[in-house]
């Protein structure tokens, strides 16, 4: 049976006005398992109208009230963790274990974190003795548009929705058309939580239709977007005409820099994860592994041995390390990059082929975890985001060379350093062009810290008070006695 996903507008679950539905494919089986509304500008306009109407009350209610709703939503997701995890895995093809232990719990954490933030967010004040008192009144911007990608569908959606609601904005969200199911479950949870109608609206459909309409709608005052750099550019152009507030979290080509003095075992375990978690489809995955020359042979041997042991297959199986990639188009793109890298002089050390599991996943979209060497840092595979289970090994001689290669791409999202030399670690952290630097770890997140990239990896920062600042407009008020 095919589930029917509906839009969530003004507190109700409804189809799009045109009553057209798009197929939602399970990438692990290659079959259509649900259908989602093919929403248009008119549906977005209805959602914005509902959000505008709800704004007056939501933006002025006490912070405790908003925090209570967010915590209630978190509780309900946590209670239905298995349903959410299964929905995410069916939408994305990622291992169920990952959804259950990482992605969905992190979405719950997002709601709880920003619920707490709503209670503690404070604005600045300045007292000029006997002359004047200045304070900054931070007011919610209005209706916020939140657009999220398919790789971490609920986690990234909640990372936007939760701070927007906590700050007093009402929201129209557009999840990726490839992964709508967890957002649909979220809509049901919001109804169960009694969230006032119109406070959160979720419109499904294509990015270039529903997503574009959301960015172009004059009633939407801020757009928070996570996705590809190309889409980010298009959104920047659309929103510029309206002078909207804009936050863009975009692609990356992240370096993992390994020095010979690192803790080898910890580095090896973590580098395996940072390369292939979620089939390499995390914006923070390291896709270029730079290794100090003296360690290169040992690393290369140990890493390839470990990669060869990774199991690719049915995401529902507990022993699976890598599930399916998101779509057949994406699989083709990944394979194209591997072929291109070979043409560019690269050698396949392991992987490089499609995987055809037996049984229910025989028509799914699976690729082997792939490691290549011998590709010049300036070649496409080392410059462009592949967003798949493919890494290249790049030996280096000096710290300066490592830095030049690490910084030599148009991106600057995240970097990981492995060294026991603290002075070197801090020196590189200072000089590396990226928004996030992990030293001797990867994916450790403290939600209070600013999150985002530099160069073509984005504009603006999410997380902590940065998010509250984004979703509020500061007004400078001055009082004289
Ligand atoms: P896309 O840019 O293709 O899509 C992201 C979202 O934007 C989707 O909801 C999409 O809808 C929508 N969209 C597409 N076109 C438009 C448009 N013209 N106007 C408004 N919305 C639009 O990214 P992917 O979904 O393919 O996600 C992968 C990308 O996301 C990678 O580049 C990855 O690096 C990046 N990413 C960045 C992160 C970060 O924090 N920096 C975190 C996670 C991912 P639809 O799906 O229907 O096309």
pLDDT tens for 228-246 read: 999 999 999 999 999 999 9
Cα 183 from Cα 165, distance rounded (Å): 16
Q: Are strands 354-355 and 366-367 parallel, antiparallel or unpaired?
A: antiparallel
What contacts 400, CB < 8 A, 6 or more positions away? none
Cα 98 from Cα 66, distance rounded (Å): 30
The HSE-up count of residue 41 (CA atoms within 13 Å, CB side) is 8
Q: Is residue 249 flagged as an active site residue?
A: yes
Write the residue with the smallest CA distance to atom 40 of ligand 1: 249
Q: Are 453 and 435 in contact (CB under 8 A)?
A: yes
What contacts 159, CB < 8 A, 6 or more positions away? 110, 226, 462, 463
Q: Are 50 and 58 in contact (CB under 8 A)?
A: no
The HSE-up count of residue 259 (CA atoms within 13 Å, CB side) is 20
Q: Are 21 and 37 in contact (CB under 8 A)?
A: yes
Q: Which pLDDT does position 1 carry in this prediction?
A: 53
Which residue has tokens 């493919």? 390
Q: Is residue 305 flagged as an active site residue?
A: no
Q: What angle do CA 415, 421, 427 make, to 5 degrees?
A: 55
Q: How much distance in Å is there from the Cα of 246 to the middle of ligand 1?
A: 15
Residue 440, exposed/middle/buried by CB under 10 A (0-12, 13-18, 19+)?
Answer: middle
458 lines ligand 1 (CB under 6 A): yes
What contacts 31, CB < 8 A, 6 or more positions away? 25, 363
Q: DSSP strand E in 6-122: where?
A: 7-9, 12-14, 21-26, 31-37
The tokens for 284 are: 């923070």
> pLDDT of 242-291, one tens digit each?
999 999 999 999 999 999 999 999 999 999 999 999 999 999 999 999 99
Residue 180's Cα: distance from chain center in Å? 15
Which residue has tokens 């989602």? 36
Count Cβ atoms below 10 Å from residue 17 Cβ, excluding itself: 15
Q: Which pLDDT does position 3 carry in this prediction?
A: 84
Q: How much distance in Å is there from the Cα of 201 to the middle of ligand 1?
A: 19
Cα 392 from Cα 479, distance rounded (Å): 60
Average pLDDT by stretches of 10, the chain with 481 residues: 89 98 98 97 99 98 98 98 98 98 98 98 93 96 98 98 98 98 98 98 98 98 98 98 97 98 98 98 98 98 98 98 98 98 98 96 98 98 98 98 98 98 98 98 96 97 95 97 85
Q: How much distance in Å is there from the Cα of 254 to the middle of ligand 1?
A: 18
* Spatial CA neighbour of 99 closest among 179, 164, 8: 179
Cα 397 from Cα 403, distance rounded (Å): 11
H helices then E strands: how many in the chain? Answer: 16, 23
- Write down the H helix ranges in 93-194: 96-98, 104-120, 153-166, 181-193
Q: DSSP strand E in 343-431: where?
A: 347-350, 354-355, 366-367, 370-373, 390-396, 414-418
Cα 234 from Cα 242, distance rounded (Å): 14
Write the residue with the smallest CA distance to atom 15 of ligand 1: 207
Which residue has tokens 């600042």? 469
What single DSSP character describes residue 313? S
* Spatial CA neighbour of 157 closest among 65, 210, 208, 224: 224
Q: How much distance in Å is there from the Cα of 157 to the middle of ligand 1?
A: 12
Cα 62 from Cα 193, distance rounded (Å): 17
250 lines ligand 1 (CB under 6 A): yes
What contacts 100, CB < 8 A, 6 or more positions away? 81, 82, 85
Q: Are strands 458-459 and 366-367 parallel, antiparallel or unpaired?
A: unpaired
> pLDDT of 403-447, one tens digit each?
999 999 999 999 999 999 999 999 999 999 999 999 999 999 999
The HSE-up count of residue 383 (CA atoms within 13 Å, CB side) is 11
Atom of ligand 1 nearest to the CA of 230: 2
Q: Which pLDDT does position 343 carry in this prediction?
A: 98
Instruction: Compute the Cα dihedral for 439, 443, 449, 452 and give only its sign.
Output: positive
Best probe residue, ligand 1, of 25, 94, 220, 227 (max atoms within 8 Å of C-beta)? 227
Q: Are 368 and 389 in contact (CB under 8 A)?
A: yes
Which residue has tokens 């997002």? 110
């Amino acid at each position: 049976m095919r589930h029917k996903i509906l839009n969530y507008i003004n507190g109700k679950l409804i189809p799009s006005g045109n009553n057209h539905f798009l197929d939602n494919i399970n990438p692990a089986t290659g079959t259509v398992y649900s259908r989602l509304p093919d929403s248009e500008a008119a549906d977005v306009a209805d959602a914005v109208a509902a959000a505008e109407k709800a704004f007056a009350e939501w933006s002025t209610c006490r912070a405790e009230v908003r925090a209570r709703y967010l915590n209630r939503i978190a509780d309900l997701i946590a209670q239905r963790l298995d349903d959410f995890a299964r929905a995410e895995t069916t939408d994305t093809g990622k291992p169920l274990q990952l959804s259950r232990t990482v992605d969905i719990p992190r979405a719950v954490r997002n709601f709880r974190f920003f619920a707490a933030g709503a209670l503690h967010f404070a604005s600045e004040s300045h007292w000029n003795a006997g002359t004047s008192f200045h304070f900054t009144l931070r007011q919610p911007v209005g209706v916020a548009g939140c657009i999220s990608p398919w790789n971490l569908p609920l986690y990234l959606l909640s990372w936007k929705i939760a701070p927007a609601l906590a700050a007093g904005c009402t929201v129209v969200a557009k999840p990726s058309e490839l992964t709508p199911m967890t957002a649909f479950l979220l809509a049901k949870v919001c109804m169960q939580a009694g969230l006032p109608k119109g406070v959160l609206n979720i419109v499904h459909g294509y990015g270039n239709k529903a997503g574009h309409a959301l960015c172009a709608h004059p009633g939407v005052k801020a757009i928070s977007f996570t996705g590809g750099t190309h889409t980010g550019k298009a959104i920047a152009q659309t929103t510029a005409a309206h002078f909207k507030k804009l936050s863009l979290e975009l692609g990356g080509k992240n370096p993992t820099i390994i020095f010979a003095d690192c803790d080898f075992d910890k580095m090896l375990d973590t580098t395996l994860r940072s390369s292939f978690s979620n089939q390499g489809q995390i914006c923070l995955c390291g896709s270029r592994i730079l290794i100090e020359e003296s360690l290169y042979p040992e690393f290369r041997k140990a890493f390839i041995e470990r990669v060869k042991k990774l199991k690719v297959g049915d995401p529902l199986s507990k022993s699976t390390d890598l599930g399916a990639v998101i779509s057949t188009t994406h699989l083709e793109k990944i394979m194209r990059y591997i072929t291109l890298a070979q043409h560019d002089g690269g050698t396949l050390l392991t992987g490089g082929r499609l995987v055809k599991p037996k049984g229910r996943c025989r028509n799914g979209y699976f690729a082997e975890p792939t490691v290549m060497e011998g590709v010049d840092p300036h070649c496409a595979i080392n410059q462009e985001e592949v967003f798949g289970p493919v890494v290249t090994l790049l030996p280096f001689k000096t710290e300066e060379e490592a830095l030049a290669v690490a910084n030599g791409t148009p991106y600057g999202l995240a970097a990981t350093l492995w060294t026991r030399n603290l002075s070197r670690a801090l020196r590189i952290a200072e000089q590396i062009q990226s928004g996030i630097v992990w030293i001797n770890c990867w994916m450790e997140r403290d939600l209070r810290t600013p999150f985002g990239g530099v160069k073509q990896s984005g504009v603006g920062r999410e997380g902590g008070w940065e998010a509250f600042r984004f979703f509020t407009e500061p007004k400078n008020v001055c009082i004289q006695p």
